[in-house]
Amino acid sequence: MDCSVFSILFLCIGNKFATSHALNITVSDSESEIKDQVFAKVIKLDFITPNQTDSSTNVVKFTCVITSGKGKGTSVHATQYAYKHNDTMPPQVHQNDKVVLGKLSAGSSTEYAFENYDRLEQIIWLLIAFVGLIVIFGGKKGLMTILSLALTCLAIFLVFIPCIMAGFNIYCSPIVICIYIIIVSYILTGGINKKSLASIIGCSGGVAFSATIYIIMERIMKLTGYYNDQTSRLKQTFMECPLDLKAIVFAMVTIGALGATMDVAMSIASSLEEIQNNKAGMTKIQIIQSGLTIGKDIMGTMTNTLILAYIGSSLITVLIYAVSNYPILQLLNKEEIIVEILQSLIGSLGMLFTIPFTTVISAYLFKSSNGNHLEKKEHLQTQLSTDEKPNKSHIISTIKIINK
C-alpha cells in the first residue's frame, strides 16, 4: 500500500476513533469568548484622550473594517485602552494594523474593544519562506520532507491529543505515534530500501531506550508530574476524570527524544550506504568502524544542539529562580528544573544509543546485500573464464543485478 494512503487512513481512523471516545470536559466560558472575537484592519485613528479613571492609560478610538466572519467588509468603531509605560501590554494601534476585536453586545447596541494584534499573517509568510527554501534546496526530496512534516504535525494534533482527551493510556499513545512518525517519515524521504529499514530500526531502538530510561528514573526520583503551573491547571481541567501527569511527562520526553534520534539514524545509515556503494568488499567490522567514526562527529554537534535547545526553552524559568536567590542545591532539586534536565539528558542518551545500534543494523543489512552482489559477480566471472559458452540471458540479468 502507498505510504501516503496508509498515512491518511491512519489519521482518519485514529482521529475518528479518539474523538468518538472523547470525555466531556468543560473549560470555563472560553468557547463563547472566542466566538465573540473578530479580525479587523485599522483604517484610521479617530482620537486619543487620557483615561479619566486610570492615569496610566490612554483611550484610543479608531475606525476599522472587519476582515472575517459574518460582518466581513463592515466598518466599525472600536476602543483601545493603551498603557503609556507598560511594555508587557500591547502598544497603541496605528493605521493599517491588523487587530483582534472583542464583540460586546448590550441589548440592541454592539461595541468593539481591542484585544490583541493579529500576528498570524507574519507567521504564514515565514512558513511560506521556510517551505519554499526546502523545496528549492531539496527538490523532490524537499517536497517529501514537507509532506512528512505535515503528516507528523497532523498525527500529533489529530490523533495523539484526541487520545489524551479520550482518556486512553498515555504511555501507549506516544509510542504508537512515534512508530507511525518514524515509518512514514523515513519511507517518504528515503523510499522503501535497506537504508530506510536501517534508519527505522535504529531510530526505534533509540526511542525505546530513551523511554525505558525515563521510566526507570521516574521511579527512582519519585517524580509527581506537577512541575509547573500549567500541569496544575491541566489537572484541574481534567478534574472529572483521572489524568496521569507522569505519563504526560513521559510523552514529552519520548517525543522530544524522537526528534534527536531521527536525524542521527538517517545520517548514519545514509553515510554507510554511500561508503559501501563506493567501496565494495568491506567487511562488517570495517563498516561498523566507519559508522562509529561518523557517529563521533555527529555526536559532538547533535549533543550541543539538543542541550542548547532545552536550555533555550527553559531560560526564563532559570532566570526567575536565579534572581530569587535560590540556593543552588534547592534549585536543582525542584521538579521543574529536574524535568528539564531529564529531557535533555535522556534525549542525548537516546541519540548516543542510536549511533552504535544503527551502525550495527546498517552493517548487517548492507553487507548481506553487497555479499549477494559479489557472489553474482564472481559467478559471472567464473562462467566467462570457462571454455563453455555462457548463457547470454543469464549474463545480462546478472549484470543488471550488479549495477543496481
On whether both 178 and 76 belong to a single domain, the answer is no
Q: Is 179 within the bounds of a domain?
A: yes
Q: Is 328 within the bounds of a domain?
A: yes
Q: Give the pLDDT confidence score for residue 401 in this predicted structure.
A: 47
On whether both 43 and 56 belong to a single domain, the answer is yes
On whether both 81 and 136 belong to a single domain, the answer is no
Q: Give the pLDDT confidence score for residue 42 in this predicted structure.
A: 94
CA 255 to CA 261: how far, in whole Å?
10
Task: Output the 3-class SS for 330-377.
Answer: HHHHCHHHHHHHHHHHHHHHHHHHHHHHHHHHHHHHHHHHHHHHHHHH
> How many CA atoms, within 13 angstroms, populate the side-chain half-sphere of residue 329?
0
On whether both 378 and 247 belong to a single domain, the answer is yes
On whether both 273 and 380 belong to a single domain, the answer is yes
Count: domains in the chain: 2
Q: Is 164 within the bounds of a domain?
A: yes
On whether both 75 and 129 belong to a single domain, the answer is no
Q: How many CB atoms lie within 10 A of CB 24?
A: 6
Among 109, 99, 95, 127, CA closest to 39: 99
On whether both 110 and 145 belong to a single domain, the answer is no
Average pLDDT, integer, range 291-303: 85
pLDDT digits (tens, 9 = 90+) for 80-115: 999 888 887 889 999 999 999 988 876 677 889 999
The boundaries of the domain holding residue 57 are 36-118
Q: How many CB atoms lie within 10 A of CB 139?
A: 10
Among 70, 86, 248, 67, CA closest to 173: 248
CA 332 to CA 347: how far, in whole Å?
19
pLDDT digits (tens, 9 = 90+) for 354-374: 999 999 999 988 876 554 544
Say what percent of the chain tops pLDDT 70.
87
- Given a contact cutoff of 8 angstroms between Cβ atoms, the answer to whether 110 and 104 are in contact is yes
- Given a contact cutoff of 8 angstroms between Cβ atoms, the answer to whether 302 and 263 are in contact is yes
On whether both 179 and 289 belong to a single domain, the answer is yes
On whether both 186 and 271 belong to a single domain, the answer is yes
The torsion region of residue 281 among left (phi > 0), alpha (psi -120 to 50) and beta comes to left
Among 297, 262, 271, CA closest to 359: 271
Cα angle for residues 60, 66, 68 (degrees, 5° grid):
140
Look up the CATH number of the domain holding residue 43. Answer: 2.40.50
CA 367 to CA 306: how far, in whole Å?
32
Q: Is 308 within the bounds of a domain?
A: yes
Q: What is the mean pLDDT of the chain?
A: 83
On whether both 212 and 273 belong to a single domain, the answer is yes
Q: Give the pLDDT confidence score for residue 238 in this predicted structure.
A: 76
Of the residues 57, 85, 118, the one at which a domain ends = 118
Q: Is 42 within the bounds of a domain?
A: yes
Question: CA distances (Å), 346 to each of 6, 127, 191, 327, in order?
Answer: 31, 30, 29, 25
Q: Is 2 within the bounds of a domain?
A: no
Of the residues 94, 118, 142, the one at which a domain ends = 118
Of the residues 77, 100, 118, the one at which a domain ends = 118
pTM for the complete prediction?
0.78
Instruction: Decide which of 281 and 186 is more confident.
Output: 186
Q: Is 361 within the bounds of a domain?
A: yes
On whether both 145 and 224 belong to a single domain, the answer is yes
Q: Is 25 within the bounds of a domain?
A: no
Which residue's entry shows cell 521556510?
130
Q: Which pairs count as long-range contacts for 286-290, CB under 8 Å and 24+ apart, including other chains?
A: 287/359, 287/362, 287/363, 287/366, 287/367, 288/359, 288/360, 288/363
pLDDT digits (tens, 9 = 90+) for 305-356: 778 887 787 788 778 877 777 787 887 788 888 888 888 899 889 999 999 9
On whether both 45 and 194 belong to a single domain, the answer is no
Q: Give the pLDDT confidence score for residue 387 in this predicted structure.
A: 46
